[in-house]
Each structure stands twice: as structure tokens, then as C-alpha cells.
Amino acid sequence: MALSEAKQRVQKEGLLSAFPVKAGVNIFKGALVKIGADGFLAPQAAEAGANHAGVAYEGMDNSNGADGDVVCRVERADSFVMDGTGFVQADVGKLVYASDDDTVSITQGTNEMAVGVIEELLSATQVYVKQLVDTK
């Protein structure tokens, strides 16, 4: 129903969120992480139906647990230095895609998801990336 008067909405700060971790995975602090098609957090890797979640604020080991036994806090805003190869100044403003939990590229591989936009070139192997986050 359309509003007929002002409404104060409950707000959730989007800078740091916690997600249940997939069984059998170990997430390292600083890792690029995704929400898999199953809805659980895991280290970034190509996966159809997954979405980039952010950068792991802390490490969390669920190697011996079941899905959701632990939660991991994830930074969902800001720019981070990310590693890759072959970056040039003309890449500033382009999307980058994650091939694993530590590597980005301007070339998208099969089922690799966009993690952000290059804001600044630091070197041929490092760039500042402004994150794009899209959760289900």
C-alpha cells in the first residue's frame, strides 16, 4: 500500500555485516568472500548464482562444522587494495572480477563475479577497488 504520511524506517548499517559460514571452509581475514547460491558465506571463487559479499573483517574456520555453525563479519563498503596483474592507468573506472579470494582481474572468467570498480592504480599488480556488494 502506498504511503499516505511520513514513515520512519528501521535502518541497518551496511558497513559491517555478519553471515553464516558454509561447512568445510576456512575464511582468512582480508579474504574476498561471496554468498554462495546456497546462501552461506565462503571464500571468493567462481560460482553460478553467487554474489560478492565483501572483505572478511576477521578470520573464521568452519572446516569441521556444519553450514552456519559460525558467522563471519564482513566489511561491505570502502575501497581496498587488491592484487592482480597487468593493470594500467586506463583500467581506472573499470569493473574487476575475482578469480579467487585474493586476486582480481579486469577480464571476467566463467561464473566469476564483479567485486568492484578500480578507483586508483597503485602499480601493475595492485589497485584500489571500491567494492560492489549485492546480497540476495
pLDDT tens for residues 19-76? 999 999 999 999 999 999 999 999 999 999 999 999 999 999 999 999 999 999 999 8
Question: Are 25 and 66 contained in the same domain?
Answer: yes
CA 54 to chain centre: 3
Query: Dihedral (C-alpha) 60, 52, 36, 109: value to the nearest 10 degrees?
Result: -120
Predicted model pTM: 0.86
**Domain boundary, last residue among 58, 75, 92:** 75
Contact 128, 120 (CB under 8 A): yes
Q: With bands split at pLDDT 50, 70 and 90, how would you rate the model's confidence at 135?
A: very low
Question: Are 90 and 113 contained in the same domain?
Answer: yes
Amino acid found at 64? N
Question: Are 59 and 96 contained in the same domain?
Answer: no
Question: Are 26 and 67 contained in the same domain?
Answer: yes
Residue with cell 589497485: 127
How many structural domains are present in the chain?
Answer: 2
Question: What is the structure's pLDDT at 15?
Answer: 80
Domain that holds residue 83: 79-131
Question: Are 112 and 84 contained in the same domain?
Answer: yes
